[in-house]
Structure formats: C-alpha cells, structure tokens
Amino acid sequence: MTARKTTAETSGGPWHWLMQDTMDGLRRRRALLGYLFLLPTLLGIFVFTAGPVFVSFGLSLFQWNIFKPPDFVGLENFERLLEDRRVIIGLINTLKFTILAVTSQVTIGLILALAVHRINRIWLRYYFRTAFFLPLLMSGASVAVFMGYIFHKEFGPLNYYLTLLGIPQIPWLTSSDLVMISIAIISAWRNMGFTFLIFLGGLSNLSQEVLDAADVDGAQGLRRLWSVTIPLLSPQILFATVTGVIGALQVFDEPYIMTRGGPGNASRTLVMVMYEHAFKHIEFGYGSAIAIVVFLMILVMAIAQMWLWRNRVFYQ
Amino acid sequence: MSADKKMSRRDLLKLAGAGSAGLVMSGLPVKVIAQDMVTIKVQTAGLGDNSLQPVADIQMARNPNVNVEWVVLTGIDHEEVAAKILALVAAGESIDVGYAATEACQLFAGQGLAAPLDDRITGDADQDFWTDFFSDVHPSLVEAMMYEGSLYEPPRDFNAANMYFNTNVLAENGFDVPGPDWTKDDFVEIARGTTKKDDAGNTEVFGYGWTNRLWGSWMPWIFVAGGNLYTEERAPGGEWIWDGYYEGDAAADGRGGGLRWQTPIANSPEVVEALQLVVDLWKEGVTPDIGMGTGQTLTGFYATGKLTMTPAGGFWAGRLANEGMEKGDFDVQLWPAWRNQKHQFGTGGHWLSNTSNAPDEAWDFMKIEVSHEGFQSSIFFNPVIITTPARRSYSQKDAYETTGPANSDVFYDTLDEHPSTAPIPAPPWSNPMTTIFTTYTGFATSGEMEPQQALDEMQAELESLTNREGRKYYQE
Amino acid sequence: MSTNVTRMPGDVSAAEHRKQVISHQLGRWIPLMILAIMSGVVLAPIMWTISTSLRTGVDSFTIPPKWLPTDFAWENYAKVFETVPFARQILNSTIITWGTVLGQLITAALAGYAFARLEFKGRDLLFWVVLATMMIPIQATVIPVFILVRSLGLFDTVWSLILPATPTAFGAFLLRQYYLTIPIELEESALIDGANQLQLFYRVYLPLVKPGLAVLAILSFNFHWNEFFRPLIFLQHENYPITIGIFQLQGYMMTGSISVVLAGVVVSLIPVIIIFLFGQRYLIEGIMRGAIKG
C-alpha cells in the first residue's frame, strides 16, 4: 500500500485506475481481488500437484537412484514395466480389490441407509448412525493392525466362531485366492460408514411428494425401491462410486500392513509396487513410470464412470 | 442441511485450544551446543532412542567435546531398515554412523555410502585393541562384513539359525531335546510326533513354525540340503586381516575379500528339495500358515505351548524371557544335519559414512561400541541377551544364566565347531532380491505354485535382476 | 441431523396407513434385524480390540476369545509409550493435522470466494483446471515432491506434509458451493453501507460460510489424522504420526506384544473420538452434503 502516495499523484496512474469510483473501477478491484485470493491455491497446486505430474513424466525417462547421476533411457522403463510381472499382477489385484470393495461398501451402505431411514426412534437412529460411522474415525492403519489379528487363521476370533459352526479354519490372509477378498471386506467394513451417510443424506433430502406420488401409482415395497428410490438416489450412488473407486485404486495401507503384498504377489497392489521401487530400492525413474500408470488408471476409470452414468443420473 | 448450523464461538475455541496446546508443547527442549563441540549422528535400529546411550556416555566421558545424536529408524525386518536409511540419505540427510546387518552391508558399501575401514584399523596406534578384538570374533563374521577386499563393519552381534524347542511340548510327547548330531529325519519325526489335531482336523499344537523372510525362514534347509540362492564366490583381497590378525587360525584359512553372490542357483535340485520339505509339512498341518515378517505371532504360539520347534538365534533367549517364559521351558540345538550340516547366520554392526564431517569421532564411537567396555554396558547384552554377542567371550554360558536356554553353547559353537557356517546371501542388490525370495516362497507355501515352478520363476527373476544390477557392483 | 428429522413413510393419512399395516410390520422388523446384526459386526472387533488391549501378552492368544477384559493389564498402555515415542507422535499428528487444516481453511476460504463471487477473466477455466487436479492421485506426484522437499531441506519435518497438502481443490470447490448459497442482496446492502471489497469478504461472507469451514475442517482433520502413505515416505521415527507409531508398535523384528499393539490402537482413537463428539454434526453434514451438491 506504500504505492498509494507515488501513484496517486498522477491521476492516470495504476492506483487511480484501480480505485476509480466507477463501475469499471469496482470491476477491476474485484478482478484483482479474485486473482489475489486464488494465488495461494493456484501456486500451491502448481508447485505440489500439477507441476510434479509433468516432472513424473520426465523422470520416467531416466534411470536414477539419486546417489549417482541420472541416465536418460528413453522408454526403457516402460518396456520393463510391460514385462514386469509384479506390475501386471499389481494392476489386476488393484482392480479386483476396487470392484469388490466398492460394490460391497456401496451396497451395504445403501441397505443400511434404507433401514435406518425407516427407524422412527431417535435414540435408535442415533445409535445405529454412530455405530456404522465409528470405523471411519479409525485410520486404515489401525484397522489393518487389529483386523490382521482377528482374521488370523489359527488363533483369530473370527475363525474360532466359524469352527463352532462346523466350518474349517479359513486362511483369510494366507491364501492367494482369498487374501484380496479379505482385504476388501476389511476395507469395506471401515468405509461403509461413509457411503451409509451419503445415502442417508440423500434419503432425507428426497422430496416426499415424489415418493407419495409413487405410492398413488401403486409402487410398493421392493418395486418402489427399485423403480423410484434408487433412481432418485443416483447422484449419491454416482458420488459414492466415483470417490470409492478413486480411493480404492490407491489402496496401500491395509495390504502393506497385513500381508506385505503376500502370499506370493496375491495382495501386492500397484501403489505398493510403486512404493517398493521408488522408496525401497530408490529407483526414481522406474517408480515414476509406475506412478504414471496409477495416474492414467484413475483418470480413465473416473472418466469412464462419468460417461457411463451420464444419462442415468436422475437429478431432481 | 441449513445455514442455522453455525459453528459456535465455543466450538471454535475448543478447536483452537486443542491446536494451540499442541503448538505450545512443540517447544521441545533443544540442547545448547558449544561452538567447538563435534556432533556425530548415529543411526540405530529398534529398541528406542537410547539403546546405544551407554556407548555414547563412555565416549563423551573420554572426550567432552563430542555430542552424540541418535537417528532412530525402525522396520519390520532388516531390509526395511536398510530402505529407510537409503531414503534418508536420498533425502539429503547426513548420518555419520549407520547400522546394517549382513542383509545391507554390501548394499551400503556398493552404493559408496559406507567407507572402508582397512586403513583405520591397520593404521591404528592401538594395535593391541584389534589383536584382542579379532581373536575374540570368529573370522566368518568378519568376512561377512567385507566387500571387494575391504572391511566395512566390525561385527557387533550375530544370529545363527538354530532350532528352538518348547521343552514342555517335547516332554508331553515323550521326546527329549535332541543331540547336536541329530538329522533331518529326527526333525520330521519330532515335528509330526508333537503335532496335535482336533476332531475337525484343525491343528491345535504345531510341530514346526517359521515365517517368510530372508534370514531364518526356510533358508537353513537350503544350506543343509547343500544349496544356496547364489553360488558362494570370494572376492580377492583381505590378506591384511587374515595374515595380520588371524595368523595361524585354521578357521581363517581360505577366506578372501568378502563374498560375491553373482550366479543364481535358486532352482537347483537341492533348493527344490528343501522347499518341498517345508511345503509338505505345511500341507500336512504340521506347520501353521506362513506369514510375512519376523514372527510376532510365532513368539505367541511358542510361549503358549502351541508350537514345538522354530528357527531362531540367540536373540530369542531374552525375547522369550520377556514374554514370560521360564528358564527350562525352552531349549536350543544346532540345525539338524541333512546332506551336510552347514549352518547360516546373519551379523550386524555399524558402518562409517563416507560423507561424515567428523569421521574420526564417528570411528571412535564405532570402536568403543565393539570394545570390552562397550559390550559390558550394552543393553543388547545386559541384563539379558537380546541378540548374540559377536565377541565370543560375551556369549558364554553365564550370559544366559537367568534366561536360559540350557544349551546356550550352541550359539557360538555354530561358528567355532562348524567351519562351513556361512552368511545368508546378501549382494548389494539384497533388497530387491529379498522381495523376490519372499514372493516366490509365498507362492509355494500358499499352494499357488509347486516348489519346482516357484523356484524356476524365482531363478528367472534373480537372473534378470542380477544381469541388471550385478555388473555395477562386482569387478570382473 | 436430529433437528432435521425427515418424514417417515408412515407419516401419511390414516386410510393409507391401514392398507400398509402388514407390509409395514414386516418392513419394520426386517430392517431392524439387519441393523442389529450389522451393528454387531461393526462393534465386535472394536470390543475385542479394547478387551485384548487389557490382557497380558500370554493371554492375548486365548481361544475361545474373551470379550470382556479380565485382568486389566494397564501396564500395556504404559508400554505403548515406552516402546515407541508415542507421546511425541501424538503431538506430531496434532501439529501436522491442525497445521494442514488451518492452511486448507485459509486457502479454500479465499479461493472459494473468488470462484463463487468475484468476476475476472479466465475464472471458469481456472475453476475447471483446479477441479481437474482432484483426479491426480498422490502417487503421481510423490517422487517429484520428495525431490522438492529434499532440495528445500524439509525432509523429516512436519512441513513436508503440511505444505503440499495446504492447497485444496476439494476445499475450494466445497466452499464455493457454500458461498453460492448466500443471497446476493446481502452484498448489495453492505456495499450501500460503504463496505469495501475486503470488508465485504470478511465481514459479510466469511461469517456466513462458517458451517462450510467447519465441514472442511472436520473432513480434513479426519483424513490427515489417519494418513499413512505420505508420512511413511517423508518422515522418520521421531517425527512419525501415530498411524505409523501403531505400525511400529508391532516392533522392530515384530517383537511387540499383541496386547501392547492393541493398546496403541485404542490410545490413537481417543483424540479422534473427542473431535468427533464436538464436531460430529459437521462431519456428518459434510459427508452428506458433499454428495448432494456433487
């Protein structure tokens, strides 16, 4: 603001131009304020998000372990990636996890929300809402730690109760067929509180008139649910699916803590492979190449979902 | 959801209070250091911030101008600690002294992060110190700390893979702790004979248990079957140690300048046979499902009488005592003989950073750590042994007096009585090698692949890894 | 939520009510049963965790599992603080989380306002650019950010986590939605009263979007308090937050006792539960609203 004195002397100076008591001046001031207000966000995003994405693309063309100068290798990292079994399995595991975790957390969340929506007693609603929400407060890390014990084959409480029912001990985390399913169950256990709340919010905002009109039309019970309520909830379903998919594609904490990617490669996810190469073996170039695959995968999935749902989402 | 849900002033104050309490507390005490003070940063692994404080105290008492700072890095296993150190150095942080087990010794040496110690030792005015030290440390431990002719770490501790027994479970089933010359077949008999199943076929007591990692794991079976992951070759050099300090010691005969692991032989018939053995025991329900990591649940199994035998070294003596096991509840024996009785070990110690600003003070620290005073005050060896001392004189019977095991002589005998005992394979690319090893072990022990197939694929990956990395680190 | 009770399906005329009695009864009990079972599924592991955290090491493997604490081994809780610098790590989590939340509140309050209420060239384009960056996963940026953090000398400091998380596309978007709900008439009357543009922002608009700020604060708190991936890369031992502290409790060489690990889990939950008690309506509203406006 020290500029005021020097520039205000000449009536045509920038300060005057800005502070002019006209609509134009006002517009200029508001525009300047807009740029100023956006500056921290834009600068931050440029430095920490958008810029680094381009740098990642660049790094993926080098072989670099930081202790020695980088070597330009062209597309060699990507050739290696196509033949890298761990990357391919990591991709498959990640997709498998995403489908399992997202479908179960969206379905269960929806069922729970529909059920709680029908409860009249305030204290019961409060109890259920808090109960379903509680796991979301815990970190994926702590959930993974104690669920690792609960799902333990030989002494976990879960298998103990199943054996009482005559079911043989299930190798939840030590069988390559089951491990990704178990991790998806554990992840859905934590995240269904999130989808539940989204749907509960959606349900409380549904226009009662629309539902009543459906009643008059004779839509009852499951049919009403299927043909009226669920289409009306489609924005929430889209939101829960898209955020769920983006989160699930980045899965790392749970398999890293519970199984270290094992047995074999059965629970090694793409992000884990990237972490191993970049920060355990300090291969920044190859790590960047895998990071780009993660990025493209998320981009493609997000766009695909938007596109698939483009006509189906029913906005009130 | 409407706009009437304003955040009240009280709510904001609560949030602000919680935040500012944190900020006030963050004014943690800062040591004021005089200008002529020399600070050395020592990286330690596990056991809290001040596990090496006694060593630092000795050094600071001798030289008041030295200040020791700790850089604590922990991980589930050695290769993870090594990865943390790499990331730390990659992030531009400096340490003066770093810790590495066998797993990472050649890794830090090969990356040029660790400095060779040859001139420091041969040029040391106090040669009595080194004569005494080397006479107290088995040459195979020393050789395991060498890379391309130079020594990078004086060994502080080691753990050989021996077999631990829950003596109560043995007794219940009419078995005694076997003698040192027991065999693989004796082992299988005990493992099967102590396994107990309920009516539904679920195992209640397991004869044998192990976890999926590089050390321990099924690696001891590979050795006694006569195999290895890589051929064991020796780099030239090292005469300065063998002729200078081990003159006349038969155990030092034929040693060189450190091992070179550069030809993978992971799918040789011996290795396949070893994997077949442990996979069969798992399929029979003698062994519980094999998890990753270093055996937190195994300790629990063992302490609660659900497990008869497991591979472990001297480090288990104190650990089992801490878990509440009484002396006499457990014992130890050498690994059983198969085609031979070649044992495996891993050793640990500190290395000197190549970029240290105070290498002389850092070196002093390393020397004190492996001196008699260092061993006598170390919390790794006092009051109970939580890792086997590399100096023979500190791994004698009296060290295990309170905790057991009765057969504690086995620990150093594994080296002294068995000249073929060798380190686990750990080339400079040991981190990705370990990932490959545990991955394919997991394939076989989850039933996804037959041992032969798992090892064929392990071999293929080790070959391509070695082709990519090997030429950078071992001279032709 | 409790003030905003939604109309129940039964809230209709008496005649219709009778018609629905049977299906209604069925429709009442089936959901209740589902809910009872599911709340058991959710709460049982938490119960087991709490009760096992109070057992001695040897008892933690007891089969059949015991659900109520029997020996009250409180020393497990003391061991949590001896094994890893847990107190320090709780402090780290507090500083990192509140630092990030504060930074996000400031940048998002400003950016949201600019996007919602100010007119300037390129605004819509910039809005879409910012929105698009929400699609960029942390993994795609973490290696360059690591190098950046290294060259700034911020490795192993709380800033390595706070600074990169401060700009928030999500927060800017969320607050923009809140600003848009404020009637423009308020602005006009303030201008007539002689307020300048800055005053307009912090005297008129900012107080009115406090609920939005609270929503952002709580969501961001929950997310960053529970972060694992970034701290694993950017921090070490002493500066770790408690998410990694718990992981560390499993011990160097996994020597930790299960009971002690679970005691750590319980301790780490306490601050979040306190925050939740104070701010649950904002958290719940934030999640519900995120979907509606999305």
**Which string of b and e fits B235-247 if b means at least 16 CB within 10 Å?**
bebbebbbeebbe
Nearest chain A residue to B304 by CA distance is: A155
> Of A204-213, B82-91, B183-192, B272-281, which range is least confident?
A204-213
Q: Angle of helix C258-293 relative to helix A122-137, nearest 10 degrees?
A: 110
State the pLDDT at residue B79: 80
- List of chain A residues whose C-beta atoms are within 8 Å of the C-beta of residue B445: 263
Beta strands B307-312 and B38-45, pairing class? unpaired
Number of domains into which chain C is organized: 2
Q: Do B1 and A201 touch (CB under 8 A)?
A: yes
- List of chain B residues whose C-beta atoms are within 8 Å of the C-beta of residue C237: 71-74
State the pLDDT at residue A219: 57
Asked whether the bond before A231 is cis by omega within 30 degrees of 0, the reply is: no
> Of A57-61, A155-159, A185-189, which range is least confident?
A155-159
State the pLDDT at residue C146: 93
- List of chain A residues whose C-beta atoms are within 8 Å of the C-beta of residue B202: 163, 168-169
User: CA–CA separation, B307 vs B297, rounded Å?
Assistant: 11
Distance from CA of A238 to the nearest CA of B (A): 20
- List of chain A residues whose C-beta atoms are within 8 Å of the C-beta of residue C9: 118, 211
Q: Do C276 and A137 touch (CB under 8 A)?
A: yes
Q: Do B296 and C258 touch (CB under 8 A)?
A: yes
Q: Report yes or no on whether pTM surpasses 0.80.
A: yes
- Whether residue B3 lies within 8 A of chain A, CB to CB, comes out as no
Q: List, as one string, the DSSP characters of C225-279.
A: HT--HHHHHH--GGG--HHHHHHHHT-GGG---HHHHHHHHHHHHHHHHHHHHHH
Q: What is the CATH number of the domain that holds C276?
A: 1.10.3720.10
Q: List, as one string, the DSSP characters of B432-459.
A: HHHHHHHHHHHHHHTTSS-HHHHHHHHH
Q: Which of C58, C74, C90 is the last residue of a domain?
A: C74
Here the tokens at position C26 are 């069925």
Q: Is B364 exposed, middle or buried (0-12, 13-18, 19+ CB in 10 A)?
A: middle
Closest C-alpha among B341, B148, B159 to residue B258: B148
User: CA–CA separation, B133 vs B476, rounded Å?
Assistant: 33
Whether residue C219 is found in the same domain as residue C261:
yes
- Whether residue B289 lies within 8 A of chain A, CB to CB, comes out as yes
Whether residue C250 is found in the same domain as residue C107:
yes
State the pLDDT at residue C222: 83
pLDDT at C253 over 70: no
Q: Do A189 and C41 touch (CB under 8 A)?
A: yes
Whether residue C103 is found in the same domain as residue C204:
yes
If one compares B273 and B321, the residue with the highest pLDDT of the two is B273
Mean pLDDT on C74-92: 85
Number of cross-chain residue pairs from A and C with Cβ atoms under 8 Å apart: 288
State the pLDDT at residue B152: 97
Top mean-pLDDT range of B287-301, C145-159, C256-270? C145-159
User: Where in chain B are all domains bearing CATH 3.40.190.10?
Assistant: 38-159+346-398, 161-231+262-344+427-473
In degrees rounded to 5, what are phi and psi of residue B134?
A: -65, -30
Nearest chain B residue to A160 by CA distance is: B202
Count how many residues are written for chain C: 294
Q: Per-residue pLDDT tens for B24-35?
A: 334 344 444 455
State the pLDDT at residue C19: 60
- List of chain B residues whose C-beta atoms are within 8 Å of the C-beta of residue A153: 288-289
Whether residue C42 is found in the same domain as residue C87:
no
Structure-derived torsion over alpha carbons of residues C37, C39, C45, C50, reported in degrees to the nearest 10: -130
User: CA–CA separation, A174 vs A159, rounded Å?
Assistant: 13
Q: Do C146 and B303 touch (CB under 8 A)?
A: no
Q: Per-residue pLDDT tens for C123-136?
A: 999 999 998 888 88
Structural domains in chain A, CATH included, are 3-59 (no CATH), 77-308 (1.10.3720.10)
Percent over 70 (pLDDT), chain A: 90
Nearest chain A residue to B285 by CA distance is: A154
Residue written as tokens 């060498």? B146
State the pLDDT at residue B139: 96
State the pLDDT at residue B182: 96
User: CA–CA separation, C176 vs C162, rounded Å?
Assistant: 23
- List of chain B residues whose C-beta atoms are within 8 Å of the C-beta of residue A264: 439-440, 442-443, 446, 448-449
Contact, A160 vs C67, CB < 8 A? Answer: no
Q: Per-residue pLDDT tens for B371-384?
A: 999 999 988 888 88
| Residue B404: CB atoms within 10 Å | 20
Asked whether the bond before B383 is cis by omega within 30 degrees of 0, the reply is: yes
Nearest chain A residue to C276 by CA distance is: A137
- Whether residue A70 lies within 8 A of chain C, CB to CB, comes out as no
Q: Where are the beta strands (DSSP E) in B136-258?
A: 146-147, 150-151, 155-160, 162-166, 196-197, 203-208, 233-234
User: CA–CA separation, C212 vs C206, rounded Å?
Assistant: 10
Here the tokens at position B4 are 């009437």
Nearest Cβ partner of B435 from A85, A175, A276? A276
Q: Do A202 and C291 touch (CB under 8 A)?
A: yes
State the pLDDT at residue A12: 67
- List of chain C residues whose C-beta atoms are within 8 Å of the C-beta of residue A30: 118-120, 197
Collapsing DSSP to helix, strand or coil, A117 comes out as helix
Percent over 70 (pLDDT), chain C: 81
> CA–CA distance from B129 to each of B126, B135, B339 (Å)?
6, 10, 40
Q: Do C4 and B18 touch (CB under 8 A)?
A: no
Range of the domain at C234: 78-293
Nearest chain B residue to A202 by CA distance is: B1
Whether residue C193 is found in the same domain as residue C54:
no
Q: Which CATH class is domain B38-159+346-398?
A: alpha beta
Here the tokens at position B436 are 């490959």
Whether residue C30 is found in the same domain as residue C115:
no
pLDDT at C198 over 50: yes
Q: Do B300 and C233 touch (CB under 8 A)?
A: no
Q: Per-residue pLDDT tens for B206-237?
A: 999 998 889 888 999 999 999 999 999 999 99
Q: Do A282 and B440 touch (CB under 8 A)?
A: no
Mean pLDDT on A191-204: 87
Distance from CA of C255 to the nearest CA of B (A): 6
Collapsing DSSP to helix, strand or coil, B235 comes out as coil
Distance from CA of C137 to the nearest CA of A (A): 6
pLDDT at B298 over 80: no
Contact, B257 vs B236, CB < 8 A? Answer: yes
- List of chain A residues whose C-beta atoms are within 8 Å of the C-beta of residue C290: 198, 239
State the pLDDT at residue C43: 92
> Of A20-29, A115-124, A208-217, B220-229, which range is least confident?
A208-217
Closest C-alpha among C106, C99, C108 to residue C130: C108
If one compares A213 and B269, the residue with the highest pLDDT of the two is B269
State the pLDDT at residue A296: 93
Contact, C230 vs C138, CB < 8 A? Answer: yes
Mean pLDDT on C185-210: 86
Q: Do B7 and C211 touch (CB under 8 A)?
A: yes
- List of chain B residues whose C-beta atoms are within 8 Å of the C-beta of residue A65: 90, 111
Q: Per-residue pLDDT tens for B403-458?
A: 889 999 999 999 999 989 999 999 999 989 999 999 999 999 988 899 999 999 99
State the pLDDT at residue B150: 95
* CATH hierarchy code of domain B161-231+262-344+427-473: 3.40.190.10
> For chain B, first and last CA: distance in Å?
73
Nearest chain B residue to A265 by CA distance is: B439
> Of A208-212, B32-36, C258-262, which range is least confident?
B32-36
pLDDT at C172 over 90: yes
Q: Which of C54, C74, C94 is the last residue of a domain?
A: C74
Judged by CB atoms within 8 Å, which residues 217-256 of A form the interface with C? 220-221, 235-236, 238-240, 246, 249-250, 252-253
Number of cross-chain residue pairs from B and C with Cβ atoms under 8 Å apart: 123
Beta strands B196-197 and B203-208, pairing class? antiparallel
Stated as kind and residue range, the H or E segment containing A268 is none
User: CA–CA separation, B61 vs B83, rounded Å?
Assistant: 33
If one compares A228 and B222, the residue with the highest pLDDT of the two is B222
HSE toward the beta carbon, residue A175, CA cutoff 13 A: 12
User: CA–CA separation, B67 vs C186, rounded Å?
Assistant: 64
Whether residue C88 is found in the same domain as residue C65:
no
Whether residue C68 is found in the same domain as residue C82:
no
Whether residue C270 is found in the same domain as residue C288:
yes
Collapsing DSSP to helix, strand or coil, B333 comes out as strand
Nearest Cβ partner of B88 from C236, C248, C252? C236
From the candidates B306, B439, B465, which should be mutated to test the interface with A, based on the most A CB atoms within 10 A?
Answer: B439
In the chain, the amino acid numbered C193 is D
In the chain, the amino acid numbered A9 is E
Q: Which of C74, C107, C130 is the last residue of a domain?
A: C74
Contact, B229 vs B433, CB < 8 A? Answer: yes
Whether residue C42 is found in the same domain as residue C104:
no
Nearest chain C residue to A315 by CA distance is: C292
Whether residue C174 is found in the same domain as residue C265:
yes
Nearest Cβ partner of C197 from A29, A42, A141? A29
User: CA–CA separation, C252 vs B386, rounded Å?
Assistant: 12
Stated as kind and residue range, the H or E segment containing A301 is helix A284-308
Q: Do A260 and B79 touch (CB under 8 A)?
A: no
Q: Is B450 exposed, middle or buried (0-12, 13-18, 19+ CB in 10 A)?
A: middle
User: CA–CA separation, C294 vs C285, rounded Å?
Assistant: 13
pLDDT at A11 over 70: no
User: CA–CA separation, C223 vs C225, rounded Å?
Assistant: 6
Average pLDDT for chain A: 86
Q: Per-residue pLDDT tens for B446-475?
A: 888 999 999 999 999 999 999 988 777 887
Confidence of residue C252 (pLDDT cuts 50, 70, 90): low
Whether residue C27 is found in the same domain as residue C160:
no
HSE toward the beta carbon, residue B311, CA cutoff 13 A: 23
Average pLDDT for chain B: 86
Q: Do B203 and A154 touch (CB under 8 A)?
A: yes
Beta strands B146-147 and B38-45, pairing class? unpaired
If one compares A259 and A216, the residue with the highest pLDDT of the two is A259
pLDDT at B43 over 80: yes
- Whether residue B299 lies within 8 A of chain C, CB to CB, comes out as yes
Q: Is residue C1 part of a domain?
A: no
Mean pLDDT on C268-272: 84
> Of A142-146, A170-174, B354-358, C82-86, which range is least confident?
C82-86
pLDDT at C103 over 50: yes
Nearest chain B residue to A163 by CA distance is: B200
Here the tokens at position B277 are 């053995």
From the candidates C26, C63, C131, C143, which should be mutated to test the interface with A, based on the most A CB atoms within 10 A?
Answer: C143
In degrees rounded to 5, what are phi and psi of residue A260?
A: 55, 30
